[in-house]
Amino acid sequence: MENQSERTKLKSLQIPVKRNMSLIVSTTALGTIADAIFTLCLSWFVLERTGSAFITSAITAITYIVNVFAGPLIGVLVDRTSPKNAMIKAYIALGLIGFILIFFYLFLDDYIIVAVMAMVILNDIAQTFISPSRRRMLPNLVGTDRIAEVSGFLSSAGKTGILIGNAVGGILFSLIGLIGIMFTHSLIFLFAALLSSWLALPKNGIIVNDPESVMVGNQL
* 3-33 pLDDT per residue, tens: 444 443 444 346 788 899 999 999 999 999 9
Long-range CB contacts for residues 169-177, cutoff 8 Å, separation at least 24? 169/36, 169/37, 169/40, 169/41, 170/40, 170/41, 170/44, 172/37, 172/41, 173/40, 173/41, 173/44, 173/45
Mean pLDDT of 196-211: 66
Number of Cβ atoms within 10 Å of the Cβ of 201: 15
C-alpha span between 51 and 40 (Å, rounded): 16
pLDDT at 203: 64
Instruction: Examine the pLDDT at 119 and tell me if it is beyond 50.
Output: yes
Segment (H or E) for 14: strand 14-15
CA distances from 214 to 135, 138, 209 (A): 17, 12, 6
Mean pLDDT of 122-142: 91
- Summarize pLDDT for 69-82 with one digit per residue, the tens: 777 777 777 778 88
C-alpha span between 123 and 220 (Å, rounded): 32
- Summarize pLDDT for 25-46 with one digit per residue, the tens: 999 999 999 999 999 999 999 9
For the chain, the average pLDDT equals: 83
C-alpha span between 121 and 114 (Å, rounded): 11
- Summarize pLDDT for 156-169 with one digit per residue, the tens: 999 999 999 998 88
Per DSSP, the residues of 105-163 read HHH-GGGHHHHHHHHHHHHHHHHHHHHHHHHHHHHHHH-GGGHHHHHHHHHHHHHHHHH
C-alpha span between 199 and 214 (Å, rounded): 13
